[in-house]
Structure 1
Amino acid sequence: MNMDIAVSYEIPDAQEYNNLRIISGLSPKDEVGSEVGLKNSIFIVTLRDSEKLIGMGRIIGDKGCFYHIVDIAVAPSYQGNGLGKRIMSEIDTYLKNNIPKNSYVSLIADIPADELYKKFGFEYSAPKSVGMMRKI
């Protein structure tokens, strides 16, 4: 496998974004919603093998107090090569260099990805608080 992976900060198109989500085991999103959401991201990092999107992650939030890490995804055939760590390193560097002190950075971790996030200083919020969600 070619591991000459290019790191980019350009917004992927909605279709390739959804394709990556689906093959990575994440839920598909509405294409119009995807276009709006991607455009409104605070920070996006993508990994490409040639032109093919094979990994990504992004930060969303209010650009002041609250930041949420989403869409950490790596195509299955590329998993196990440290690419999730590479994505999180890019996100961590952005956070350290660009957000105000005492900002709250959160994420929802699927198991076993929680082990990756622990390496970047994330801790479980329970029992003081727990993640909640609602799909519309």
Structure 2
Amino acid sequence: MEPQLSREIPGNHEYRALRTAAGLSVMSEEGAALGLPASWCAVCVRDNGELIGMGRVVGDGGLFLWVVDIAVAPARQGQGWGRRIMQALMDEVHARAPKRTMVGLIADGTAHELYEKFGFKLVAPGAHGMLLRL
């Protein structure tokens, strides 16, 4: 049976484990407990119940949205799951977000190549992404 994509928020432990496995930064248990339930939209890909892919959209729902946590387990990368996760999230964004909502993301490495297929554009040199990690 092929893994299944569903609109759901991942659990705290599996979320943090998949981020680490996929090479994303480590997040705290406390941060995940507060942040995950506040997701505007989330999708999970599961294979026999195991989380192998995920993505979320966070934000205020009207003015600003951010695509975050696009992660696929290393053994499943290169199989199109990142594209399917993004498609599901962007379908929800286009269905629910008001016109002129600003949707942003930060692309690691060459991930911008995937995001460009969904209409995202690099903003440098006109603007520069910035982060403050607490």
TM band (smaller chain): over 0.9
Show the counterpart of 1:24: 22
> Percent same amino acid among aligned pairs?
46
Show the counterpart of 1:45: 43
Deviations for 1:63-117, whole angstroms, at most 9, x for unmatched residues?
1100000000000000000000000000110111000000100000011111000
What SS is found at the alignment partner of 1:72? Answer: strand
Q: CA RMSD in A?
A: 0.8
Show the counterpart of 1:54: 52
Show the counterpart of 1:79: 77
Question: 1:1-136 to 2 correspondence within 5 Å?
Answer: 4-136=2-134
Gaps of 5+ in 1: none
What is the deviation of 1:23?
A: 0.3
Question: What is the rounded CA distance, in whole Å, between the counterparts of 1:13 and 1:26 in structure 2?
Answer: 17
Gaps of 5+ in 2: none
What is the deviation of 1:134?
A: 0.8
Deviation >4 Å, runs of 4+? none
Q: Tell me which amino acid in the other structure corresponds to 1:42.
A: W
What TM-score do you get using the length of structure 1 for normalisation?
0.96
Deviations for 1:36-65, whole angstroms, at most 9, x for unmatched residues?
111000000000011100000000001110
Give the total of aligned pairs: 134
Question: What is the rounded CA distance, in whole Å, between the counterparts of 2:119 and 2:61 in structure 1?
Answer: 20
What TM-score do you get using the length of structure 2 for normalisation?
0.97
